[in-house]
Amino acid sequence: MLTGRPSDVSAPSRRPQRLTIGLVAQTVASLCWIGSVFAYGIESTGDWLQLAAASSWLTANIASFGGSAD
């Protein structure tokens, strides 16, 4: 039944993810992957796809660490 009062159930708050060993390791791995693409050269479409994948992985890691708190 709706009473016009706020609900006792609150929405879960979003907190930034703590810096964990896993997040650090994934970030280092994505940076190494990006570095290897440049070390071996970008000569084909596959190289660009590798760079896009590694960059997306890095971006996701940064976004998960820097999430906003409500």
* Domain span including residue 48: 21-63
What is the reported pLDDT for 67?
59
44 domain residue, yes or no: yes
Alpha-carbon torsion, ordered 47, 50, 56, 57, to 10 deg: -150
59 domain residue, yes or no: yes
What is the reported pLDDT for 9?
56
Handedness of CA 41, 37, 31, 50 (dihedral sign): positive
26 domain residue, yes or no: yes
14 domain residue, yes or no: no
40 domain residue, yes or no: yes
Tell the burial category of 23 from Cβ atoms under 10 Å away from its Cβ (0-12, 13-18, 19+).
Answer: middle
69 domain residue, yes or no: no
41 domain residue, yes or no: yes
pLDDT of the chain along its 70 residues, tens only?
A: 556 655 555 555 666 557 788 899 999 999 999 999 999 999 999 999 999 999 999 999 988 876 544 4
Tell the burial category of 65 from Cβ atoms under 10 Å away from its Cβ (0-12, 13-18, 19+).
Answer: middle
What is the reported pLDDT for 70?
46
36 domain residue, yes or no: yes
